[in-house]
Amino acid sequence: MLCTAARIPLVLVALVLALATSARAALFRSPNVKSLSTKTFRKHVQGSDKLTVAAFTAPWCGYCKKLGPDFDKVADSLKGLVNVVNVDCDQDENKPLCGQEGIQGFPTLKVQPIFPGGSAPSRSYDGARTAKDIIAAATSSMPTFVKRAGTASEVEALREKAATKPVSLLFTSAGKVTPLYKALSTDFYRGIDFYAARDSKVGEEAMKAFGVDKTPALLVLQGGEVTKYDGPLKYDKLRAFFEPFVKKKGGKRNADHSEL
């Protein structure tokens, strides 16, 4: 269901305008939902390497208020992995952007996909408005710069590759790349090559050659050195682990989602 301006009885217009300011502040409570304007949308969304889930809302909309708690959960769960933003289409300065995006009712959720080298046109999210469903849609659409090392010889060849550029190597039992590793690859792909090797594909001997006897195990190969990560599988900790392997370029700071 969507709210449209035409659905508001004229007798309530004055009351709606009077309450708009306080309603706007209460729509989303999570600090991880970023409020953007026409001026800031391009920089924070189209200028980001991360996928974006955007809510286009109006403060008087009952369906927007209903969405609030679930959207807060989405933002908190995907903090650092996905940009979760809100655009208040009731604000005059944001009406050009909402018009460009074809917004006709509220809330409208859109996903701004990213691919290596640029972004694609946004697409509407028409699924269930629960946190679980929105998170599933977002994580399945995340960009990834992770390549597969599918054999023991391919894993061993990464040592030579690491002579010219650091290589992140994740030994895993999972068949799919997790959102956490996708996000890390998006953060550091310019300075680090990311690979995943499934234990059932490469075998125990290939893992033992790197001093690994169980999964998940995360290594960074650089030159002739192998550095193993022994900390918690948390985004902030892992990001701090990777940072020394790349030159600082004023990169963006992001944060959290467990499991490699």
- The per-residue pLDDT for range 88-138, each reduced to its tens digit, is 999 999 999 999 999 999 999 999 876 555 567 789 999 999 999 999 999
Tell how strand 146-148 and strand 193-198 pair up: parallel
In the numeric block, the tokens 């090559």 are attached to: 193
DSSP three-state, residue 252:
coil
Domain limits of the chain?
A: 9-141, 146-245
Q: Which residues contact 245 (CB under 8 A, 6 or more apart)?
A: 166, 188, 191, 192, 220, 222
Taken in order 150, 163, 185, 80, is the CA torsion positive or negative?
A: positive
Q: Which two tokens stand for residue 223?
A: 């030159």
The rounded Cα 47 to chain-centroid distance in angstroms is 14
Residue ranges for the chain with pLDDT beneath 70: 5-25, 114-119, 248-259
Superfamily holding 9-141: Glutaredoxin (3.40.30.10)
Helices marked H in the chain — which ranges? 13-26, 38-41, 62-77, 95-100, 131-141, 152-161, 179-188, 199-202, 204-208, 235-242
In the numeric block, the tokens 């989405």 are attached to: 74
Q: Give one DSSP letter per residue of 2-22, joined into a string.
A: -B-GGGS-GGGHHHHHHHHHH
Q: Residue 242's closest CA among 259, 257, 225, 227?
A: 227
Do domains 9-141 and 146-245 share one topology? The answer is yes
At the topology level, CATH places domain 146-245 in Glutaredoxin (3.40.30)
Q: What is the pLDDT of residue 148?
A: 98
Q: What is the pLDDT of residue 94?
A: 97
Q: What is the pLDDT of residue 25?
A: 54
Predicted model pTM = 0.84
Could you count the other beta carbons within 10 Å of the beta carbon of residue 109? 21
Which residue type, as a one-letter code, is found at position 144? Answer: T
Q: In what order do the strands lie in the sheet with 52-57?
A: 34-36, 83-88, 52-57, 108-112, 123-125
